[in-house]
Amino acid sequence: MPNEFKTFILRGNVVDLAVGVVIGASFGAIVTSLVNDLLMPPIGLLLGRVDFSSLFVTLGRQSFPSLAAAKAAGAPTLNYGLFLNAVINFLIVAGAVFLVVKQVNHLFPKPVTTTKECRHCAMTIPLKARRCPHCTGELAAA
C-alpha cells in the first residue's frame, strides 16, 4: 500500500494539481486584497462613504453601531457587506481564470481528426477507408 501511494503522489498530474492549488490560494489572497483594499474603498466613497465590510442587519431586536459590537454581544447578524465583497472576489477570480484558460487554449493546436465511425457497425476506422475492415461494409469515398 505505501508503494502504491508513493506512485500515486509522484505522478505528474498530482504534483501539478498541488502546485495549482498553492498558486490558486496565493492568487486568491491577492484578489481579496485587491477587492478589499483597492476596489471597495472608492466604490464605497462613490456610494456615500459606505464601508461594505461593515454592512449588516441584526436579526434580533437590538441595534448595534458596528458589526464588531454586534459580534462582541453575540447577536446573530446577516453580514451582506461581507457577502458583497466575496461575490466581487469571485467575479474577479472567475474572470482571471477565464482569461488564462482562453489564452492557454490558443497555445495548443486543435487535434486533427484521423478516424471516423463506420455507419454500419459503429467501429472506429481510418478517415480514408472505403470499406470497413470490421464489417466489410461499403463506405462513401473519402
Q: Give the torsion through C-alpha atoms of 57, 30, 18, 84, to 10 deg.
A: 20
Q: What is the pLDDT of residue 140?
A: 75
Q: Domains of the chain by range and CATH? A: 2-108 (1.10.1200.120), 111-142 (no CATH)
CB 120 within 8 A of CB 62: no
Model pLDDT, residue 124: 92
The predicted model gives 28-55 an average pLDDT of 81
For 75-93, the pLDDT digits (tens) are: 999 999 889 888 888 888 8
Q: Which residues make beta-bridge pairs with 124?
A: 117
**Whether residue 141 has pLDDT greater than 70:** no
Question: Grid coordinates representing 123?
Answer: 467501429
**Global pTM value:** 0.57
